[in-house]
Amino acid sequence: MFGKSAKSSSGSTSSPAPSHHGDQKIRSAQIDTIIGKGTTIDGDLRFSGGLHVEGVIKGNLAADGDNATLILSEHGHIQGEVRVPSMVLNGAIDGDVFAGGKVELFEKARICGDVYYNLLEMAVGAEVNGKLVRQKPESGKFAPPPVPASDSE
């Protein structure tokens, strides 16, 4: 299935050539749910397993379980807070990101918001317009958002 070479009728083996660097990683991940390129979801969304987003989500996104993975393709866009154990990003997020595990940002990734992470891999060309805050590895859970300082004296 995924990651295995396909045998042609002539007996030779071949595998599809990746069109982008992130495509190989995306093909190897288990996907349980796909939000297609022409789809827009208005409202918050919870998922478990693997979620591949090529469309638009206007709302907060949260994962159930420690093995959930978000894959946001080049044309995918999330407008809201994202809370996932791990993610592979080549699209855009407008909102804070909380990841208890690994965050992989490919060259077309764009985040406008703070990123709370345990492990971060960032390709040349990826953008983060916000703070990068590393979390303790032993916590494994999502960090709560920072409490704003009180201006009253």
Query: What beta strand segments (E) does the chain contain?
Result: 6-7, 13-14, 33-35, 40-42, 45-47, 50-53, 56-58, 61-63, 69-72, 77-79, 82-84, 86-89, 92-94, 97-99, 102-105, 110-112, 115-117, 119-122, 127-129, 132-134
Residue 146 within a domain: no
For residue 32, is it within any domain?
Answer: yes
Phi, psi of 25 (to 5 degrees): -65, -40
Quote the CA–CA distance of 93 and 110 in Å, as a whole number.
6
For residue 31, the model assigns a pLDDT of 84
Greater confidence (24 vs 60) lies with 60
Asked whether residue 147 is domain-assigned, the answer is no
Contact of 71 with 87, CB cutoff 8 Å: yes
Q: Is 33 within a domain?
A: yes
Does residue 149 lie in a domain region? Answer: no
Instruction: Read off the pLDDT band of 142 (50, 70, 90).
Output: low
> Range of 128's domain?
21-134
**Is the model more confident about 151 or about 40?**
40
> What's the predicted TM-score (pTM) here?
0.73
1 inside domain: no
Per-residue pLDDT averaged across 41-62, rounded?
A: 96
Residue 5 domain-assigned (yes or no) = no
**54 lies in some domain:** yes
**What total number of domains does the chain contain?**
1
